[in-house]
Structure 1
Amino acid sequence: MAERYTSFEPGGRRWLWQRLTAAFLVVVLAFHFFLLHFVNHADEVTFALSQARMEQLTYFSLMILFLVTATFHGVNGVYNALVNQGLSGTRKTAVKAILGLASVLLIVQGVRTALEWAGGVPI
């Protein structure tokens, strides 16, 4: 039988978080698709209506959680794919630092954008 290789440690938390974030993203994407393609059709979606949604604390919080979850899921997946391809040593450390910094910058800019879109701090 073929040996199964993965960079995830057996019983490790990153493996679990990768699966949990995937499940969360599937649910949020389904919600997004339903809301913006069945409740509101594409030709009805305007910036003003999107801004009104972002002013609701529940929607705003869900979008921030979506941003953080998607960022973690994507960066963790890329990092582990590179490790599975043999990345190690100094390059592994450098890639981890670069991906970590990119994640922080993405989340900070995403939160700044969401706050501006919501008209400041949501109610």
Structure 2
Amino acid sequence: MAERYSSFTPGGTAWFLQRVTAAFLIVVLAFHFFLLHFVNHASEITFAGTQARMENIGYFLTMVLFLIAGAFHGVNGVYNALVNQGLSGTPKKVVLAVLTIAGALLIFQGIWVALVMSGMI
């Protein structure tokens, strides 16, 4: 029988956060689809409506957490998939640095947009 390999240490922090963010993303994605595809249909979504939703602190925080969880989950998943495919040494460090910087920039830009949309800045 083939041996199973995973770059995640079972019970480790990255392993745990990958699962927690996955569960969070499923719940918030369902909320997002329900609100923006069933309650409000795509043709009814407007810039002013988005601003109004973002002014609600609960919605704002949910969307910011959605952004952070999605960015972490994606970056961590891509990195560990590459490690599982044999990435090691200097290329592994470079990929980790590039993905970390890209994830941080994505989060920064997303929070900036959320703050502008909410009228906080």
Class of the TM-score when normalised by the shorter of the 2 chains? over 0.9
Which shows bigger deviation, 3-12 or 86-95? Answer: 3-12
SS in 1 for 2:2: coil
Provide the residue aligned with 2:76 in structure 1. 76
Normalising by structure 2, we get a TM-score of: 0.96
Distance in 1, matches of 2:11 and 2:60, equals 33
Q: Structure 2: 5+ residue runs without aligned partners? A: none
After TM superposition, what 4+ stretches of structure 1 lie above 6 angstroms from structure 2?
none
* 1:10 Cα deviation from its structure 2 partner: 2.6
Q: In the TM superposition, what are the counterparts of 1:22-101 in structure 2 within 5 Å?
A: 22-101=22-101
* 1:35 Cα deviation from its structure 2 partner: 0.4
Q: In the TM superposition, what are the counterparts of 1:6-25 in structure 2 within 5 Å?
A: 6-25=6-25
Distance in 2, matches of 1:80 and 1:2, equals 20
Aligned sequence identity (%): 67
Provide the residue aligned with 1:104 in structure 2. 104
Provide the residue aligned with 1:117 in structure 2. 117
SS in 2 for 1:33: helix
SS in 2 for 1:24: helix
* 1:2 Cα deviation from its structure 2 partner: 2.1
* 1:18 Cα deviation from its structure 2 partner: 0.6
Distance in 1, matches of 2:99 and 2:42, equals 34
Q: State the Cα deviation string for residues 52-94 of structure 1 (Å, max 9, x = none).
A: 0001100000010001000000000000000001000111111
Q: Structure 1: 5+ residue runs without aligned partners? A: none
